[in-house]
Amino acid sequence: MKIKFLLTAILLVSFQNFFAQETPVKQAVDSVKQNVIDVEKQRALEKERLEKQLKEEKKALKEKEKAEEKVEKAEKEAKNAEKKAEKQQDKLEKEQKKFEKEQKKLANAEKDVEKAQSKIEKERKNLEKMQAKHEKAIAKGKLSPVEIEKGNVALTKQQLKIKEAEEDLEKAQKKLKKLR
């Protein structure tokens, strides 16, 4: 009986040892498994968070690029508008100069017409004076036939001057008409 008792005691102690070792190992394995699962979950969450952050950064970068493109486009449009305004200003200045030049030409043509008219009037007055003087000298009878001829030549020359002045007047009037 002592042996039975001893064997039973040994058997009980070995069962206790067997079950005692098994429980902590299972708990350790379970805790390791739980830690591994927790670490994997944390990694998955970290990965997910990083992916979201990356997406947000890409989105922000795209928005920033769009904003920069809009700014560049606006600057380009402003430059184009400025260039158009400068071209239009230059065009207006050229038109103004052209208009002023035409006005000067027109004024000069009008002056030429007036000069030609006054010259004709002056030459006609001179012709009338010369005719009156020549007729008066002929009426007095003091002139020789050569002097009379010289007087007639002078009158003819004066008439030619009048004709030239009239031609100049016609040219000036044509020029004026062309400019108008």
Please tell me whether residue 134 adopts helix, strand or coil conformation.
helix
Question: Cα 21 to chain center, whole Å?
Answer: 90
d(CA 27, CA 38): 16
d(CA 83, CA 81): 5
Mind listing the pLDDT tens digit for each residue in 26-85?
565 677 778 788 888 888 899 999 999 999 999 999 999 999 999 999 999 999 999 999
Mind listing the pLDDT tens digit for each residue in 6-28?
788 887 787 777 776 544 545 65
Domain limits, the chain: 53-179
- Of residues 180 and 56, more confidently modeled: 56
